[in-house]
């Protein structure tokens, strides 16, 4: 879709779909309309995720790509954090209807900024509509990069999904447990762009991915086994975001400008397909063993798989370079 109609037009269509979906949920309380609104808005959100990632890569490939990707993906947890602060207050003060209106207002602001402010780089404009072909090796590399992103996010989601329950099992109140685990989210808002900056500054993005995932995994295991919960939670928040920007910069290493749209489509297809499976496995383990710590241990395991997949990704990239520059 992006290659056919252009990146900016597709993103604007995605924002419009999100707005239509939100307005459907605002104007009708019926179950069918609520489901339809969520499906339409979700479709728009997927268009945004795929195309805007490609647009960031168009601007920053060969420059501060890890920092740019880190700032881009950081908008998700920061947006959630702001929503958790503002929307309950709006709902308590003015009612649920105004909550939906506020969300629609934010979508309109995004639509206006994209329509009036964003400009594509000249090279991207010249490449729009051109058909590039993905080699099998490139597809494998994109799938590997997406698998790393998927497993990393599964590990992160285990903290937010099962961390509070784990603390409740240890005698904490639900309010205290939720507030304590939320520290991870706030600190991640700092550690994500910091990790991207370090990856670009040191040119050691892969080392940051490996070290970050291993440290994150070890702290996750320690969280359910130590009484020093608050220091460990702070350490998790400081470490967990470091690999994000470097991971998201991996596809740009193998995708040409003409193939980024379809390549990022593959990337997000693997990510969206794998994420719910990982969450379901974590929930199943927690229920079968009878402890939320089992889900955290599962998160640690998948984080430790990320460096192994990164090794596979490096092998593919090295093979592509040998083909591009054959020895004589």
Contact 54, 7 (CB under 8 A): yes
pTM: 0.84
The pLDDT tens digits for 197-247 are 999 999 899 999 999 999 999 999 999 888 899 999 999 999 999 999 999
| Burial degree of 138 (CB within 10 A; 0-12, 13-18, 19+) | buried
C-beta atoms surrounding 256 within 10 Å? 15
Contact 212, 131 (CB under 8 A): no
Residue 155's pLDDT is 95
The per-residue DSSP string of 275-302 comes to: HHHHHHHHHHHHHHHT-THHHHHHHHHH
The pLDDT tens digits for 140-173 are 999 999 999 999 999 999 998 899 999 999 998 8
* pLDDT score of 326 more than 70: no
3-state secondary structure of 215: helix
Contact 229, 180 (CB under 8 A): yes
* pLDDT score of 328 more than 50: no
């Amino acid at each position: 879709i992006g290659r056919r109609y252009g990146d900016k037009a597709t993103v604007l269509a995605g924002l419009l779909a999100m707005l239509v979906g939100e307005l459907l949920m605002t104007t009708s309380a019926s179950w069918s309309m609520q489901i339809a609104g969520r499906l339409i808005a979700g479709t728009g959100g997927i268009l945004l995720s795929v195309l805007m990632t490609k647009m960031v890569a168009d601007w920053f490939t060969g420059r501060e790509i890890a920092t740019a990707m880190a700032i881009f993906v950081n908008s998700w947890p920061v947006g959630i954090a702001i929503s958790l602060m503002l929307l309950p207050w709006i709902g308590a003060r003015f009612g649920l209807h105004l909550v939906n209106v506020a969300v629609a207002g934010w979508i309109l602001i995004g639509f206006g900024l994209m329509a009036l402010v964003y400009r594509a780089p000249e090279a991207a404009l010249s490449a729009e509509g051109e058909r590039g072909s993905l080699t099998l090796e490139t597809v494998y590399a994109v799938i590997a990069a997406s698998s790393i992103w998927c497993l990393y996010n599964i590990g992160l989601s285990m903290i937010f999904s099962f961390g509070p329950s784990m603390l409740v099992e240890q005698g904490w109140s639900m309010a205290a447990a939720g507030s304590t685990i939320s520290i991870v989210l706030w600190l991640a808002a700092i550690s994500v762009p910091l990790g991207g900056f370090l990856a670009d500054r040191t040119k050691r993005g892969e080392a940051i991915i490996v070290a970050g995932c291993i440290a994150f995994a070890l702290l996750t295991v320690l969280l359910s086994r130590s009484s020093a919960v608050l220091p460990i939670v702070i350490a998790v928040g400081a470490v967990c975001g470091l690999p994000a920007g470097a991971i998201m910069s991996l596809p740009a290493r193998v995708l040409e400008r003409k193939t980024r749209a379809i390549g990022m489509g593959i990337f997000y297809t693997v990510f969206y397909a794998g994420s719910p499976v990982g969450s379901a496995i974590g929930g199943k383990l927690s229920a079968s063993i009878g402890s939320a710590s089992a889900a955290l241990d599962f998160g640690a395991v998948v984080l430790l798989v990320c460096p192994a997949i990164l090794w596979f990704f490096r092998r593919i990239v090295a093979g592509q370079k040998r083909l591009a520059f054959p020895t004589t």
